């Protein structure tokens, strides 16, 4: 979309997840799917899962939609 970047929002890289004690991710739904930016981020963590660097870390997600029935039931 055309939202400008926000310099005060911290951005984590996939490799930095290995240093975290746990993580919670939030993202908007897009037509019943996670946002493309988050999917790209999640796809980039494949090496961490393969090497078990994220094994045992607590994790969670939350998401939002612009309307009732806007895809949240298929996003989770």
pLDDT tens string 10-63:
788 888 999 999 999 988 887 778 888 888 999 999 999 999 999 999 999 888
Give me the count of residues in the chain: 76
46 assigned to some structural domain: yes
> What Å distances lie between residue 74 and 4, 10, 41, CA to CA?
28, 28, 19
8 assigned to some structural domain: no
12 assigned to some structural domain: no
19 assigned to some structural domain: no
**Number of domains the chain is built from:** 1
| Six token digits for residue 22 | 């746990």
Do residues 38 and 24 lie in contact, with contact meaning Cβ atoms separated by under 8 Å?
no
45 assigned to some structural domain: yes
Q: Which domain holds residue 30?
A: 25-54
Q: How far apart are CA 59 and CA 73, in angstroms?
A: 19
29 assigned to some structural domain: yes
31 assigned to some structural domain: yes
Task: Kindly indicate the confidence band of residue 1, based on its pLDDT and cuts at 50, 70 and 90.
Answer: low
41 assigned to some structural domain: yes
Model confidence pTM above 0.75: no
């Amino acid at each position: 979309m055309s939202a400008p970047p926000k310099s005060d929002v911290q951005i984590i890289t996939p490799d930095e997840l290995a240093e975290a004690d746990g993580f919670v991710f939030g993202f908007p739904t897009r037509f019943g799917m996670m946002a493309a930016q988050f999917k790209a981020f999640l796809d980039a963590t494949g090496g961490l899962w393969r090497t078990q660097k994220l094994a045992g870390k607590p994790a969670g997600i939350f998401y939002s939609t612009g309307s009732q029935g806007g895809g949240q039931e298929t996003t989770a």
